Amino acid sequence: MHIIKKRRIIPTDIAIVTQWNDAKRHGIASINGLNFFVDDSALRDPYKTPKVGDKIIVYKYRKTEKGGRIVEGKLEGTTVLSSGDALYASKTVGCQVKVSKRMVLIALAVILIVIAAIVIVL
C-alpha cells in the first residue's frame, strides 16, 4: 500500500490584472512591472470573473515565445476546497487555515450543547 502525501503549493508572486476581456475570458496581469498573459482556465475559481485591479495569487508561471504566461493562480479572496478532507481558505499569501471535517463537527456539537443548556435554564 502506497501512501501519497499531499503537496502544498506555495504562492510565488502577486499579480494585478491590468486588462481583461470578458468575451474572450483572458487578459493581462502585471507582476513587478512585467506583463503576463492570463487565461480564465489558469484560475482556480471558474465562477468569479477577474476585473481590472484584482489581485491574482500566482502559483506557477512560465516564459513562452510571446512573453510570460500565468499557468496556475487564483483570485485573492476566493475560497478553494481541496480534494482531501480539509478546507483551505486564504485571503492573503501566507494566511492559510486548515480545518478538518471532524473539528467542524465537534464545534457544532459544542454549540448545540450550549444552546440546549441555555434553553433548559430558561
The per-residue pLDDT for 7 is 52
pLDDT digits (tens, 9 = 90+) for 101-111: 888 899 999 99
pLDDT digits (tens, 9 = 90+) for 8-26: 556 678 899 999 998 998 9
Report the candidate in 41, 46, 42 with the shortest Cα–Cα distance to residue 58.
Answer: 42
The per-residue pLDDT for 2 is 47
What angle is formed at CA 52 by the lines to CA 82 and CA 49, rounded to 5 degrees?
Answer: 40
Which of the residue ranges 12-16, 48-52, 111-115 has the most confident prediction, judged by mean pLDDT?
A: 111-115
Output the nine-digit C-alpha cell for 49. 470573473
pLDDT digits (tens, 9 = 90+) for 73-82: 888 875 555 5
pTM of the predicted protein model: 0.55
Helices (runs of H) and strands (runs of E) counted in the chain: 1, 8
76 contacts 55 by C-beta, under 8 angstroms: yes
With 0-12 / 13-18 / 19 or more C-beta atoms within 10 angstroms meaning exposed / middle / buried, residue 80 is: exposed
